[in-house]
Amino acid sequence: MSRTLQMVFRNTDGRNVTVSVADAREDLLAAEVETVMTNILGRNIFSTSGGALAEAVRAQVVSREVETLVEF
């Protein structure tokens, strides 16, 4: 099963921007993600077409399981 961490921010235009990290750890803690999101905002390292990231909105882990039925 693949796990992707999605960190959602709002930019200065008020639009949501998602930063995704593939292969998120199973033991990932909310406090760790919150710290990373705060650091991203504090360092202003991403710029979008709608301006800089202005605030954190949410973080979520998306799990995906693929079952191959037939392979040629």
Query: Cβ(50)–Cβ(17) under 8 Å?
Result: yes
Predicted TM-score of the model (pTM): 0.88
Residues 30-62 have pLDDT tens digits of 999 999 999 999 999 998 999 999 999 999 999
- The whole-number average pLDDT for the span 11-22 is 97
CA distances from 3 to 18, 24, 30, 45, 54 (A): 15, 5, 15, 24, 26
Is pLDDT above 90 for 1? no
* pLDDT of amino acid 27: 96
* pLDDT of amino acid 30: 97
Q: How far apart, in whole angstroms, are the C-alpha atoms of residue 61 and residue 3?
A: 6
Q: Which two tokens stand for residue 19?
A: 């930063």
- The whole-number average pLDDT for the span 5-23 is 97
